[in-house]
Amino acid sequence: MFCFNSDIELIDLGNGVKRKVLAHDGNMMAVEVHFETGAIGAMHHHPHEQLTYVLSGEFEFTIGTETKIVRAGDTLYKKPNIEHGCICKQAGVLLDMFTPQRLDFL
């Protein structure tokens, strides 16, 4: 499967957050998430494993009971069902990878 970023709609989720669902299949999904400064990724959990790669910007991330500042080039792992969320400190983009794919995003 080829997935060209320029062909994918950037969906406005409101409150300074936008999402692009990239390549995906039953076992894996890649998603770009764009944040404006001050936007919040509300605390939540899901049954999927998730890796997040910070493409740009600066974020205060909470995973479970731990909170840290992350920047471009940093990677985060979230095990299934762990509470996590973020506050965008400097506008940026995250690349989220899920296994299995998030059917609720399709």
Assign residue 52 the CATH number of its domain: 2.60.120.10
- 73 domain residue, yes or no: yes
pLDDT reported for residue 26? 85
Confidence of residue 105 (pLDDT cuts 50, 70, 90): very high
Please write the tens of the pLDDT for every residue from 15-30.
Answer: 999 999 999 998 999 9
Tokens for 73, please give them: 């080039």
DSSP 4-57: -GGGS--EEEETTEEEEEEEEETTEEEEEEEE-TT-EEEEE--SSEEEEEEEEE
Domain that holds residue 70: 18-105
For the beta carbon of residue 53, count every other beta carbon within 10 angstroms. Answer: 16
Task: Give me the residue label for tokens 């300074």.
Answer: 16
CB neighbour burial string for 82-93, b if at least 16 within 10 angstroms, e if fewer: eebbbbbbeebb
Which residue in 24, 20, 25, 28 sits closest to 93, CA to CA?
Answer: 20
- Asked if pLDDT for residue 13 goes beyond 90, the answer is yes
Given this model, what pLDDT does residue 90 score? 98
Count of structural domains, the chain: 1
